[in-house]
Amino acid sequence: MSKHHINTQCIHGPQKANDPHGALTAPLYQTSTFHFENAAQGAARFAGEEPGYIYTRLGNPTTTELEQKVAQLEGCEAAAATATGMGAVSASVLSFLSQGDHLIASNALYGCTFAFFAHMLPRWGIEVSFVDMTDETALRAAIQANSKMIFVETPINPTMDVIDLALIGQLAQQHNLLSVVDNTFLTPLLQAPKQYGIDIIVHSATKYLNGHGDVVAGLVCGSLEHITLIKMTVLKDIGATISPHDAWLINRGLKTLAIRMERHCSSAQIVAEYLEQHPQVSKVYYPGLKSHPGHQYIGKQMQAAGGVIAFELKGSLQQGAQFIDSMQLCTIAVSLGDAETLIQHPASMTHSPYSAEERIAAGISDGLIRLSVGLEDVNDIVADLTQAFTRIA
């Protein structure tokens, strides 16, 4: 346990840079393999009898630095860095579930997580139920004798529904389920799933953790036992491990996470309030707004509402496309958590792996627009939205 505030831990990880030249920033170990002094040493490392690195798919000092820092931020014993956020999601599920097991997942999820659960897991004999987890009765009813894992995003991408993590932790413990939370939207600075007894925390590090739109990567955090299993099975043998260069970039990005999150959240609040009062907007989904059902969790489960807003325009789908096309500063792009404000249309972009029926069941309307509020001056973001509204009026 660090004696420092979590904001300080983003800058100073658990280990001081240990460089013979005294480099302030830990060096990048851009190497695929590590040599041994002799055959006996190689054998001892493979046998786990001697500490040390072997081959970057199995571990690398730059990757270790990132893993230790994020594990500490999440209050977990250990972490595994992965090549993408989907690498983290798939490793956390495939390492623990087998044929005949049952997975309970939130009814709306990032599109590729949904596709993996809905379309691939059943091919391997893993049963999946998608449940509206804001409905406690439905959630309890979904638990079966073969249920093994419960997987939650909160706030959910893109509906921004907030799930009660205390309830998830309690049900998981009661029914001996492994609980997994995707903490991408809030980061460990704004939400600490471990406090609620959640077993495994996953991230798309592509988003806020890195924060600069130049890396795709993921992280899985949990107990040493769980993370060792993940590393020694799915990551070692299927292989979605991170590149050291990407780990180095995320280590750099993490140093500014705290101040970036402050700005993302304060600007998103202003933009959400602007959208909510706008006559051309029919609905805004942002837990920072008093009108949002997730608002009750602010200051409790979540320190702030994060930087992502979803909203619906009044008018036709065509006007929605025209609105997006009218942006001059905001960029039409998927992903989130970057310095640039990004705007996209989930039904045709991030959530296109859902069929039209599946989207309706998940509450993702065709008119929904998702905005990841960036680090630009908030007045410029609002001005850009204003000129786009004028164009489609």
Active-site residues, by number, are 57, 110, 182, 207
Residue 337 C-beta: closest distance to ligand PLP, Å: 9
The footprint of ligand PLP (CB under 6 A) covers: 84-86, 89, 110, 113, 153, 157, 182, 184, 204, 206, 216, 218
Q: Which is nearer to ligand PLP, 159 or 204 (CB)?
A: 204
Q: Which is nearer to ligand PLP, 13 or 346 (CB)?
A: 346
Q: Which is nearer to ligand PLP, 9 or 204 (CB)?
A: 204
φ, ψ (nearest 5 deg) of residue 142: -80, -15
Residue 23 C-beta: closest distance to ligand PLP, Å: 29
Q: Look up residue 217 and give its amino acid.
A: A
Residue 158 C-beta: closest distance to ligand PLP, Å: 9
Q: Which is nearer to ligand PLP, 64 or 210 (CB)?
A: 210
Half-sphere exposure of 112 (CA within 13 A, CB side): 12
Structure tokens at 393: 């009026």
Q: Which is nearer to ligand PLP, 172 or 336 (CB)?
A: 336
202, 180 contact by CB (below 8 A): yes
Alpha-carbon distance of 26 to 16, in angstroms, equals: 8
User: Closest residue (Cβ) to ligand PLP?
Assistant: 85
Residue written as token pair 């908030």: 378
59, 78 contact by CB (below 8 A): no
* Strand arrangement of the beta sheet that strand 342-344 belongs to: 281-285, 308-313, 368-372, 342-344, 331-332
Residue 113 C-beta: closest distance to ligand PLP, Å: 6
Residue 309 C-beta: closest distance to ligand PLP, Å: 14
Half-sphere exposure of 279 (CA within 13 A, CB side): 3
Of 110, 99, 93, whose CA–CA distance to 179 is shortest?
A: 93
Of 194, 202, 149, whose CA–CA distance to 176 is shortest?
A: 149
Residue 214 C-beta: closest distance to ligand PLP, Å: 13
Q: Which residues are registered as beta bridge partners of 84?
A: none
Q: Which is nearer to ligand PLP, 148 or 351 (CB)?
A: 351
Q: Which stretches does DSSP call E strand in the chain?
A: 78-82, 102-106, 127-131, 147-153, 178-182, 200-204, 218-222, 281-285, 308-313, 331-332, 342-344, 368-372
